[in-house]
Chain A
Amino acid sequence: MTAFLIICGLLALLVLRVPVAFAMGGLGVFLLWVFPLPLNAVPQRLFGTMDSFELLAVPMFLLMSNVLLKGNVGRDLFAAVQSWVGHWPGGLGIATILSCGLFSAVSGSSVATAATIGTVTVPEMTERGYGRPFVLGLLAAGGTLGILIPPSIPLILYGVVTETSIPKLFLAGIGPGLFLSAAFIVYSLVYARTGNSFEPAPKATWAERGRATMLALPTIVLAAAIIGSIYLGIATPSESAAIGFVMALVITFAMGRMTVPLVKKAVYDSMKTTAMIFLIVAGAKVFSYAITLYRIPQGISALLSDNIDSAGLFVLAVGLVLLVVGLFLESISMLLIMVPVLFPSLAAMGIDPIWFGIFFVVLIETALITPPVGMNLFIIQGVGNASLSEVVRGAFPFVLILLATAALLWFWPGMALWIPNGW
């Protein structure tokens, strides 16, 4: 009953437009006061939450991706990939997904990936006759690769909240990230073969390919350096993110793409996103402290293990709940509200926490492109100057692909676990 009242209270606050961070934080404070417990635990929790070197990876990756965004590297990546595959049937669709995959390797955010690649590819693809819903849906879905292919901000937060190894989570994201990229590419090829009339890009000459690839090379080297430095044990994820940020500044200045006003804009933009995420993390910390005192996660865990005796059924139930929750909640909020509640049940069900992190992120990706609240839908709606219904229509096939991938992850956990376990 208490759990039901708390959930209703949280929903009521959210519906009344209380920001997610303060809906959780405010309700947490109220619950502590009712318990009753000394409220000086609140500032102590807030201090302790941010006193984490692991969490530093979030602002550092955001700084890096904002610098690259302002330095127009999205255009370079797309031009390079397009020069190789753009003339194939459906080639621009393939180039879009490959560009999203490459940008994902230097950005931990799906919104940044969708916005960066979308700005370049929407005009190019629509000019060449690709159907607008397809283009918009492809970009909304391609952007979601940003949070699965490492580095990934949701995976960092999942690692911090559950005290799971962030490098292992990053490794586990590679397999499903590549699988999803391949699935999106196959869909683009099928779309191209089904008789839609569009004009392929002209075939690039070897000189053009060389020039375009050289321009994209620094970003590709940067992506390799970030992942390489983590797995060779040279740097922690936070340190590698900081190095990546400094390297991004050096690269964009060296290419003549960066100016002091652009640096300022990148620094302020990343601060805004960082503060937005960190306040949700802080609010979630107070909330999860309060609900733990009320033994809500333990109660839910006991309820689930009493009524659901198979891990498969548990995953199915969690998947359905996340699918519904994801219709209304933004990705970080979804993760920080649901993970503390669900995580204690994993051990009882014998579910690998690394696998669950990846499964959760695939469902977050689905949430990002399902209405009424889907951040990538809104971003692409803005970038493509389109109606929301057009983007939703285009994104629907990709929702099915994402759900099929989540199901496949259950039947083939090795898709996520073979890299971290084999490392």
Chain B
Amino acid sequence: MRRLVWIADWLSELTGKLAAWIFFAIGFIVTYEVVMRYVFVAPTIWVDELSRIGQIWAAYLAAAFTLKHRELVVIDIAFKKQGTLARRLAESFSLLVIGFFCFVTVFYGFELWLRATLRGHTTDTLLALPRWFTDASVWVGFAVLALQVLAELIRLWIPSADTGAKGQGSQ
């Protein structure tokens, strides 16, 4: 259990930080595009698509990190007292809803990805990027989130499994 929690935490940190630097890089390539277009009158064909694909990857890769660090917006009007059984049951229910959403997304996302990959689909743009790369963003991000959901459930009910790497604060 401890090992699983540790792996989930480590993976969420890794994917979250990767997502952060993807957004950082997008800022620079978009600026590069504006400079090329207005200063050198030489617009690129790759910035628009790569920044959009980067955004999809980053948005979903960061999902597990936000759960781990309790950055998701929760309406805090009931079950406020931490540590009570009612609060733990509410949190478990909440994690199960997230898990259900992840399951549907990963299951159907993987199916779509597999079909596109086996058929060698590409994006219908000038770059013609392989769809195995673009479509993987959704199910990979939610698979990491599903693992973090499992870690949070374990942490909630088996405190001894906590590796001490839990995020700070809550909304």
Expressed in whole angstroms, the Cα–Cα distance for A81 and B157 within the complex equals: 53
With A53-B52, A59-B26, A270-B20 as contacts: A47 and B73 at CB distance below 8 Å: no
A355 interface hit (Cβ, 8 Å): no
Tally of contact residues, B, Cβ under 8 A: 59
| Smallest CB separation, A381 vs chain B (Å) | 14
CB under 8 Å from chain A, chain B span 127-144:
134-135, 137-139
Contact segment of A166-174, A241-249, A409-417: A241-249
- Whether A26 lies near B101 (C-beta < 8 A) is yes
Expressed in whole angstroms, the Cα–Cα distance for A333 and B107 within the complex equals: 27
Question: At the interface, is chain B mostly helix, strand, loop or mixed?
Answer: helix
**With a CB–CB cut-off of 8 A, which chain B residues contact A63?**
23-24, 27
Number of cross-chain contacts by CB at 8 Å: 189
Expressed in whole angstroms, the Cα–Cα distance for A237 and B100 within the complex equals: 36
With A63-B23, A275-B65 as contacts: A43 and B112 at CB distance below 8 Å: yes
- Whether B48 lies near A16 (C-beta < 8 A) is no
With A234-B38, A372-B77 as contacts: A19 and B20 at CB distance below 8 Å: no
**With a CB–CB cut-off of 8 A, which chain B residues contact A280?**
73
B161 interface hit (Cβ, 8 Å): no
CB under 8 Å from chain A, chain B span 143-160:
none
- Whether B73 lies near A59 (C-beta < 8 A) is no
- Whether A43 lies near B108 (C-beta < 8 A) is yes
B11 interface hit (Cβ, 8 Å): no
**With a CB–CB cut-off of 8 A, which chain A residues contact B79?**
16-17
- Whether B23 lies near A50 (C-beta < 8 A) is no
B59 interface hit (Cβ, 8 Å): yes
- Whether B27 lies near A60 (C-beta < 8 A) is yes
CB under 8 Å from chain B, chain A span 209-261:
234-235, 238-239, 242-243, 245-246
Expressed in whole angstroms, the Cα–Cα distance for A329 and B74 within the complex equals: 9
A23, A234, A272, A328: the one within 8 Å of B71 (CB):
A272
Of A14, A59, A239, A246, most B-chain CB atoms within 10 Å: A59
- Whether B75 lies near A22 (C-beta < 8 A) is no
A274 interface hit (Cβ, 8 Å): yes
Convert A12-44 into 0s and 1s, putting 1 for each residue whose CB lies closer than 8 angstroms to a CB of B.
Answer: 011111111111011001000000000110111
- Whether B94 lies near A17 (C-beta < 8 A) is yes
- Whether B75 lies near A15 (C-beta < 8 A) is yes
Expressed in whole angstroms, the Cα–Cα distance for A92 and B139 within the complex equals: 52
- Whether A242 lies near B31 (C-beta < 8 A) is yes
| Smallest CB separation, B158 vs chain A (Å) | 20
CB under 8 Å from chain B, chain A span 370-387:
372-373
- Whether A50 lies near B55 (C-beta < 8 A) is yes
With A243-B34, A246-B31, A280-B73 as contacts: A16 and B66 at CB distance below 8 Å: no
Convert B20-64 into 0s and 1s, putting 1 for each residue whose CB lies closer than 8 angstroms to a CB of A.
Answer: 110110111011011000100000000010011101101110110
B33, B75, B101, B137: the one within 8 Å of A47 (CB):
B137
- Whether B109 lies near A23 (C-beta < 8 A) is no
B165 interface hit (Cβ, 8 Å): no
B72 interface hit (Cβ, 8 Å): yes
A276 interface hit (Cβ, 8 Å): yes
A51 interface hit (Cβ, 8 Å): yes
**With a CB–CB cut-off of 8 A, which chain A residues contact B73?**
19-21, 276, 280, 330, 332-333
B10 interface hit (Cβ, 8 Å): no
A6 interface hit (Cβ, 8 Å): no
- Whether B17 lies near A276 (C-beta < 8 A) is no
- Whether A278 lies near B76 (C-beta < 8 A) is no
CB under 8 Å from chain B, chain A span 50-91:
50-53, 55-56, 59-60, 63
- Whether A274 lies near B138 (C-beta < 8 A) is no
Expressed in whole angstroms, the Cα–Cα distance for A51 and B55 within the complex equals: 7
In the complex, the 6 A-B pairs of residues with the closest C-beta atoms, listed nearest first: A43-B109, A275-B62, A271-B20, A19-B72, A242-B30, A50-B56
CB<8 Å pairs between A and B, sample of 18:
A17-B91, A18-B97, A18-B98, A19-B98, A39-B107, A43-B139, A47-B138, A50-B59, A53-B48, A53-B51, A56-B26, A59-B26, A59-B55, A63-B24, A242-B28, A268-B20, A271-B23, A273-B71
